[in-house]
Amino acid sequence: MAIESAKMRVAANAAKSVTAEAAAGLVRTGMWLDYGATLCQPDVFDAALGACIRELTDVKIRNCISLRPRAPLEADPTGEHVHFFNLHFGGYDRKKHDAGRCHYLPVNLGEIPDYYRRFIDPVDIVILKTCPMDEDGYFNLSAANLWHRAVIERARMVIVETSKGLPYVYGRDTGIHVSEVDYVIEGADTSPPELPNPAATEIDRAVARLIAGEIEDGACLQIGIGGMPNAVCALLAESGVKDLGVHSEMLPDGIADLYNAGHINGARKKLDPSKIVYSFALGSKALYATLDRNKDMLCCPVDYTNAPHIIMQNPRAVAINSTTQVDLQGQAASESDGNRHLTGTGGQLQFVRGAYASEGGKSFICLPSTYDKRGARRSRIVVNLTQGNIVTAPRTDMMYVATEYGIVNLKGKSVPERALALIGIAHPDFRESLEREAHAIGMLPRGVSFGRTKIKGE
């Protein structure tokens, strides 16, 4: 019976086989396509669509963090034929946005499955890269679970592009059954794109030391993207902290390194004990090799990994995320430079809220104190955010803020107390001018004593 079932699945799969060119020929003018996110984005289909995109008009494609150039965009420099919409920018998407060819959808990443099910019109065609069909008739989504199940539910047509180069992962809703698939493209078996891990700077390590000193035995980690969060992982590997767990949106190399060094066992987690929970992974070949058929890792939909009411159920949840600018009220702007969009809200706000609500939980927003722009050094801690900057984490949600000069907790502090605390961790060259500006606008009233906020790290 098992042999017969396997033969039936193989026959079903063969009947659905199609070339990339034939699949691209199914696209019609005015259609909405969905490429999914990160490792699941198609390549051979994308190339085939790029070759015929000038025969179409008003094709709209939704995706997230493009890891390679998108052929339809490259083949249509004037935007007469295709428009891209993106849920979170990578470097390529940012460049195309600057050129007016890619448009951002403001989202909390963990709410995206709900958006597809409730607010986004049905997708005409979803095309996802997957592992080849397994013995149970499923196409594994690899290390990019995210909101793909919701898209499949809402799509009029489902196409998978298979690749043997993807890691096969375990988790929840990680597969698409052959019965749900309309067409199968045999894709390239190349290794998945890697995300470079730049070496940590001295400033990264200084901030990481402050944050690592706040992480206790049994902490359940969420690590965001960037040098500082990964530097925290490196320091934790050198510390004596025990029984670390992970419940995170993204799984970066830093977490995999901690796991391979034996520092993560999830023994004190209430949800999914002993499992590393994540929604997608981006990093090196070594990271993908760690994930491949590893039952210690649980890849889950993003509405499970990112929902604050789920995050908070693990005690001592610790969220570590980066930002680019913080004002003296405590607002963090993490996704834009004025009116220029850079990245996206991602899961930052949801993890800030979920970690704070956890028993003994802590949320850290970290940033270097300065940056260089057009040859001039500028402060990342400012009286007012740059005009046009998007607030990612409101002042009411901010907990710990860390620079290389210290770490402060803003919870329970008035606006003047927050201003003084944040001035105290700004670069010394800017503290006097920040205080002067704050006095000038009445943020620091004269004649009132607030006491001195303790700045850890001094």
Q: Show the tokens assigned to 139.
A: 């196409």
Q: Residue 384 carries which DSSP code? A: S
CB under 8 Å, gap of 24 or more: what pairs does 65-69 form?
65/37, 65/38, 65/89, 65/90, 65/93, 65/282, 66/41, 66/90, 66/92, 66/93, 67/38, 67/39, 67/41, 67/92, 67/192, 67/193, 67/195, 67/282, 68/41, 68/43, 68/92, 68/193
Residue found by looking up tokens 């995170």 in the block: 248
Q: Which two tokens stand for residue 255?
A: 């977490």
Query: Residue 171 has what DSSP assignment?
Result: B
Q: Give dist(CA 23, CA 454) in Å, integer.
A: 62
Rounded distance between C-alpha atoms, residue 370 and residue 375, angstroms: 12
In Å, how far from its chain's centre is CA 164?
Answer: 24
Q: Helix, strand, or coil here: 396? A: coil
Nearest-angstrom CA–CA distance, 418 and 367: 16
Which helix (H) or strand (E) element contains residue 103?
strand 102-104
Residue 354 Cα to chain centre, angstroms:
16
Handedness of CA 240, 243, 248, 252 (dihedral sign): positive
What are phi and psi for residue 206, nearest 5 degrees? -65, -45
- Separation CA 130–CA 238 (nearest Å): 37
249 carries an active-site annotation: yes
Phi then psi dihedrals of residue 110, to 5 deg: -70, -10
In our burial notation (b when 16+ CB lie closer than 10 A, e otherwise), range 412-435 reads ebebbbbbbbbbbbbbeebbeebb
Considering the candidates 55, 202, 238, 249, report the single residue annotated as catalytic.
249
Report the DSSP pairing between strands 400-403 and 362-366. parallel
Residue that is written with structure tokens 């060094």 in the block: 261
Tell me the two tokens of residue 401. Answer: 């803020």
Burial 251-274 (b: 16+ CB within 10 A, else e): bbbbbbbbbeeebbbbebbebbee
Signed CA dihedral, 149, 41, 222, 294: sign only: positive
Active site (catalytic) residues: 249
